[in-house]
Amino acid sequence: MKIPMTLLVLVAAAWSDTYAAPGPTNTAMVDRILLIDSTSAPVAEGKATLIIGALQRTNGVYAGDYKVKVFPYFFKNEKGRLAIVVSDAALAKVSHGKAAVIAGTATTSRKGGKSRHIDATATPIDRNHGTLKLWFTAGERIMIFETAYRFAEERPSGFAAEETVNNIATEFP
């Protein structure tokens, strides 16, 4: 009678591991690349386009390159590094279908490296996709961008060298 009971316990343990929901610190979830679609927002007689490269997570921070192109005001274009703090708890919340408020910084690559605070709300559609609303102040104007995000297991091919995820920032003012 001990053998069938032992077998039942082993089968139950294997079944629960196979069908259990992933935990908040699931390594596969934490190590995924974050991809954010390009988006635009109106500016006086033109538009600003936000382009964010693939973001890699290290120590609770998704970091990567960004560009803002302002048409027709090309002299207001900027590029730099984006670092968004996404704690394990916020990542778990999103993976379980709940919206999460996150924040970070964007630091220009211009001389002096001006930093700007960024706020965002991630609203999941499913475990791998969702919408993202992010906003920051540029000059005296609040810029609001609404876009989509998705997680990927690997960095997709076709990203330009300037959109690499090297030199990840992990400290914020």
CATH code at 70? 2.40.128
pLDDT for res 84: 94
CB under 8 Å to 13, separation ≥6 — which residues? none
CB under 8 Å to 36, separation ≥6 — which residues? 52, 55, 132, 147, 148, 149
Residue 96's φ and ψ, nearest 5 degrees, are: -100, 15
Residue 91 lies in a domain: yes
Q: How many domains, the chain?
A: 1
Residue 18 lies in a domain: no
Residue 56 lies in a domain: yes
Q: Which DSSP category does 173 fall into?
A: -
Residue 33 lies in a domain: yes
Instruction: For residue range 102-143, list pLDDT tens digits in order.
Output: 999 999 998 888 899 999 999 999 989 999 999 998 878 899
Residue 11 lies in a domain: no
Closest residue by Cα to residue 61 from 97, 34, 92: 34
> Which residues constitute the domain of residue 159?
24-163
Beta strands in 29-140 (DSSP E): 33-36, 39-43, 46-52, 56-58, 61-71, 78-85, 100-108, 115-124, 129-138
Neighbours of 66 (CB within 10 A): 21
Residue 14 lies in a domain: no
Residue 160: pLDDT band by 50, 70, 90 thresholds? Answer: very low
Residue 13 lies in a domain: no
31/52 Cα distance (integer angstroms)? 18
107/82 Cα distance (integer angstroms)? 6
The answer, yes or no, to whether residue 165 has pLDDT greater than 50, is: no
Q: Token pair for residue 14?
A: 């294997």
Instruction: For residue range 71-108, list pLDDT tens digits in order.
Output: 998 998 999 999 999 999 999 999 899 999 999 999 99
End-to-end CA distance of the chain: 64
CB under 8 Å to 172, separation ≥6 — which residues? 83, 85, 104, 105
pLDDT for res 53: 94
Neighbours of 99 (CB within 10 A): 14
Residue 3 lies in a domain: no
CB under 8 Å to 166, separation ≥6 — which residues? none
